[in-house]
Structure 1
Amino acid sequence: MSRTEDLALECRSFSLALDRPLATANGSIDTRDGFLVRLTDADGTVGYGEASPLPGWTESHADCEAALDRARDAFRNGDERDALEAVDRTSAARHAVTLAIADLKATQESTPLYRYLSEGPLVGRVPVNATIGDGDPAETAARARDAVDRGFDVCKVKVGRRSVDEDIERIRRVREAVGSAVDLRADANEAWTFEEAETAIGAFAELGVSILEQPLPAGALEGHAALRGDGVAIALDEGILEHGVDAICGAEAADAVVLKPMALGGIDVARQVAAWVAEVEITPLVTTTIDAVVARTGAVHLAAAIPDVPACGLATAELLAADLGHDPVLLENGSAVVPQAKGLGVEGVWEE
C-alpha cells in the first residue's frame, strides 16, 4: 500500500433511476442517489468505492456527503486513520471509503478482490436469486416464470404490502408457474404481526418456501425465535442492524442472516459477520440495497469470499434503468460469474 500521504480521495454524486419502481412492504423505491469515490495512489493506481444511502438502512444523503467530505480532507492531510474515523458512524460512507481502500490494495497486489478478502481458492461463480417485486398474483407469477426461463432456480418474492391471504395466493400462483424444482423465498420487510406470520408460514411450508426474511419488526427477537422450526427457515435482515449478531445468537432468533454491505458499513464488516455466524451454524446470505455497479460488484466479491455461500440477492442490475459503467459480472444460468481481474474489476465508471 502507498504511504497515506500519497493517497487522494475524490467524490462525485450520481442519481440512477430504476427501470420500474420496486414495491416493498416499506414503500416503493424508484431511484438510487449516491456518491462514487475514487482513491488514487502516487503511481496512479485507482480504487473505487460507492456510497448509496437508503432511508431506513443507512445515514441520510446529506450526512453521507458530509462524512465523505471529512474523509477527503483527512486523506488530503495525509491521515488514513482520521479518514476512517470520519466515516465510522455513517455506514454508506464507510462502505465507500473501505471498498476503495480494499480495491486499491487488491489491485496493487494483482489479485481479485475476493481473494484479497479471504485468501481462499479461486472461485468462478456464486449462485444468485431473482428478486420478484410486489405485483398482483398474475404479474408476480409471470415475473417468476420469466426469471426461471432465464436460468434462475431461486426466486425471492416480496410480500407484506397486501393481506396475508393475498400473499399466500401470490406464492401459490408462483409455485404453480415455476414448478416444484425451483427454490422459493419470501421477504416481508417487518410487515406482519406474529399471528399473520404464523398463518403465512403454515401455508408457505406447504408451498415449499425455504426461507422467510424478516416477517416481524426488527425488535421482535423472541417472536422470530418462536416462528422457527415450523418448516420455513427464518432469516433476519433489518434485525441484524438493530440487535447485532450476539443478541440474535443469544435469542436463537434466526436460521439465516442477510448481509447488506452498504447497510453494515462495508464488505470488511460483512465478511467478519459472515465468518462469525457460520461458526454458530447460521447461514449468511449476501444481498445489496439496489446498488450501482461498484457496490454491487463488491458484494459479488464478498459472496465469493464466503465458503459454500447459498444463492444470494446479487442479480439486481436489471432493476436499474442505467448504471455508472460497464458491469463486469455476467449472470448466467442462475449464477454470477466472479470477475478475476485485479481488484473489483470495474472499469469506465469515472469518465471525464
Structure 2
Amino acid sequence: MHRHAFSLDLARPLSTAHGPIREREGVLLGVEREGEVVGVGEATPLPDWTESLAACRTALDAVTGVENVDEILRSLGTESDATDPLNDAPAAITDPLADAPAARHAVELAVLDARGRHRGPPLADLLAASPASAVPVNATVGDADAEATVEAAIEAVDAGFDCLKMKVGVGALERDVARLRAVRDAVGPDIALRADANGAWDRETATEAIDALAPLDLAYLEQPLPASDLSGHTALRGRGVDIALDETLTVASTDAVFEAAAADILVLKPMALGGPARALSAARAAERAGVAPVVTTTVDAAPARTAAVHVAAAIPDVRPCGLATGDALAADLIDDPVPVDDGSVAVPTVPGIAGDAFDHVFDRLLEQ
C-alpha cells in the first residue's frame, strides 16, 4: 500500500479554539495492484473534529501493517456494499479505526475509489441511483467590520453565489447584527444568508441573537451554543430562525440529536464522520427524521473535497453545501477537480473519485 504524508499551507490562517491553523497535514493512501494505484484515500485530521495527527498515523500504521492489506481492500472494493464498504473488513482493519474518523475516512474512501474504478461509475453513482450532476455551494464570509463584510459579500454574489455563510460570534452581538443587516441591505432579499457562531454564545445571547436576526430572513443559525448543549439548542428552535448543528456531532450521535429535537439542519463533514458512506448514511437518517442535511469539508485536500462533492450529489435536492473550500489552501495536491463555477460544483463523471487524477501525486511525493 502506498502511504505518503503531505502538508499544505493555508491561504490564510484558520481560527480554532486551540489557536490559528496555518497548514493542513495529512496522509494520502493508495491501494495497489501489481504496483499500480487502484484506489486513493485521504486522512487530514482537524483538531476538535477528529483524532490528532499522531493518533491518525498510529491507526494507519496498524491498518497498513495488516498482512495482504491491499488484497483485502481491493476485495472489499469489488464485493462489499458501497453504502457500508468496511462492514465485512476484518477486525485487524476496523478496530484501529474505531476512534480515528480521519484514518477511517482514508481507508473507506480508498475502498470506494477502488470499487468505482473497477466497475466504471463515478463515486456518486455508487452511492445513489440518480445523483445530481452539480451541487450548489455557499460562499463563506469571514469576520470583519461591516464595510469589509459587505464588500466580501458583494464580491461573492458577483461571482455567482446565491448563498452566503457569515461568521459571527467573534465580537459583540450588536456588531454581528449590524454586519448582517448591512449585508442583507446590500445583497437584497433573494440571496440566502446563514450565520455560523461556532458555539460561541450562551443561551441568553443566542436567544437575543435569534430575536434580532429573524427579521433578516436568515436561512439558519449554525451552532449558536457549545457542542454539548443539546437541550439549549432544542429550546432555541421555533423562534423564527432554523437551527443547524455542526460541532455537536463530535460529541453526540445523530440519534441523540434527533431524539432531543435539537436541530432543523445537520452539517455533515465526511472526514469527521469516518468516511463518505458514513456521511451519506447520516444524511439519509436526517432526512427520515425531518432534518435537512448539508455537506461540508474540514478544509481538506483535493481527494477528500472531491469525495464530499460526490456525497452531496447523492442527496436529493441538497441545499447549498460548504464545499467551496479549495481556495482556502495556498496550493493543493493537484489542480482542483471540483472548481466552483457560478455558485455550483460539477460532479466528476470519471470512474471513482476522479479517475486516475490523484495517482501521479504519489510519484511527486516520493520525489520530495
Q: TM-score, normalised by structure 2?
A: 0.89
Asked whether the equivalents of residues 24 and 158 of structure 1 are also in contact (C-alpha less than 8 Å), the reply is: no
Counterpart code for 1:209: L
Q: Deviations over 1:27-83 (max 9, x none)?
A: 433221111111123483521111111111110111111111111111546655222
Matched, 1:219 2:231: no
**How many Å apart are 1:241 and its aligned residue?**
2.4
Residue of 163, 166, 170 corresponding to 2:175:
166
Q: CA RMSD in A?
A: 1.6
Asked whether the equivalents of residues 261 and 288 of structure 1 are also in contact (C-alpha less than 8 Å), the reply is: yes
1:30 matched residue in structure 2: 22
Asked whether the equivalents of residues 135 and 345 of structure 2 are also in contact (C-alpha less than 8 Å), the reply is: yes
Counterpart code for 1:145: I
Matched, 1:103 2:113: yes
1:283 matched residue in structure 2: 292
2:46 matched residue in structure 1: 54
**How many Å apart are 1:226 and its aligned residue?**
0.8
Cα distance between partner residues in 1 of 2:131 and 2:245: 29
Q: Percent identity?
A: 48
Matched, 1:351 2:363: yes
Cα distance between partner residues in 1 of 2:94 and 2:200: 35
Cα distance between partner residues in 2 of 1:157 and 1:31: 22
1:293 matched residue in structure 2: 302
Residue of 6, 13, 18 corresponding to 2:5:
13
2:84 matched residue in structure 1: none
Residue of 175, 193, 209 corresponding to 2:218:
209
Superposition map of 1:115-194 within 5 A: 115-118=125-128, 120-194=129-203
Counterpart code for 2:26: G
Residue of 246, 250, 264 corresponding to 2:259:
250
Cα distance between partner residues in 1 of 2:249 and 2:14: 23
Structure 2: 5+ residue runs without aligned partners? 73-88
Other structure's SS at 2:170 match: coil
Using the TM superposition, name which of 21-30 and 293-302 deviates more.
21-30
Residue of 337, 340, 344 corresponding to 2:349:
340
Asked whether the equivalents of residues 24 and 161 of structure 1 are also in contact (C-alpha less than 8 Å), the reply is: no
Other structure's SS at 2:351 match: coil
1:5 matched residue in structure 2: none
Q: Deviations over 1:313-345 (max 9, x none)?
A: 000001110001122113111111110000001
Q: 1:247 to 1:97 in 2, by over 3 A?
A: same
Q: Deviations over 1:109-139 (max 9, x none)?
A: 1000011112x12521011001111222222
Q: Deviations over 1:139-191 (max 9, x none)?
A: 22211111111000001011111111111112122212222211000111110
**How many Å apart are 1:25 and its aligned residue?**
6.7
Aligned length: 343
Cα distance between partner residues in 2 of 1:25 and 1:128: 26
Cα distance between partner residues in 1 of 2:47 and 2:250: 13
Asked whether the equivalents of residues 288 and 314 of structure 1 are also in contact (C-alpha less than 8 Å), the reply is: yes
Matched, 1:86 2:93: no
Cα distance between partner residues in 2 of 1:340 and 1:288: 21
Cα distance between partner residues in 1 of 2:34 and 2:263: 46
1:230 matched residue in structure 2: 239
Structure 1: 5+ residue runs without aligned partners? 1-8
1:304 matched residue in structure 2: 313
Q: 1:122 to 1:259 in 2, by over 3 A?
A: closer
Q: TM-score, normalised by structure 1?
A: 0.93
